[in-house]
Amino acid sequence: MHTRCATTCADRWVINVSRIYSIAVERGRQNTTVHPDGTVTCDGPAAVNLYRLYSLYAGLEFEMKTGMKLTRKAPSCYSIVKREHGLKGNKYRVYVQFCEMHGFDPKPQEELTCARS
């Protein structure tokens, strides 16, 4: 099951995030291009893994900002990241470790604080 937050065609993912391009280039993805409108296209099976990685990153941020999970019945991004990468700590510490591990820029904790009353 794939998250459909981007335009898909077979295993081509068009993602409107410039950071994906730099991560793809750092990891040696040959089939990655940036289009004039700012979208990034990653081709091949490695693109699915790259998109999943970015989805976990964005989902972890969302969970910290809102206090909600992305889906009702599936595990949270926090628990998936902890399990798959062997990380320990609270949500923010896991988020920072995950960002450092994969080259994302972590946001300050104040920006990610849950806005619930």
Contacts 24+ apart (CB under 8 A), 96-104: 98/56, 98/57, 98/60, 99/57, 102/23, 102/53, 102/57, 103/22, 103/23, 103/26, 104/19, 104/23, 104/57
pLDDT in the model for residue 67: 87
Q: How much of the chain, in percent, has pLDDT values that exceed 70?
A: 65
Report the C-alpha gap between 93 and 60 in whole angstroms.
11
- Threshold 0.85, pTM exceeds: no
How confident is the model over 62-110, as pLDDT tens digits? 999 888 888 888 999 999 999 999 999 999 999 999 988 888 888 888 8
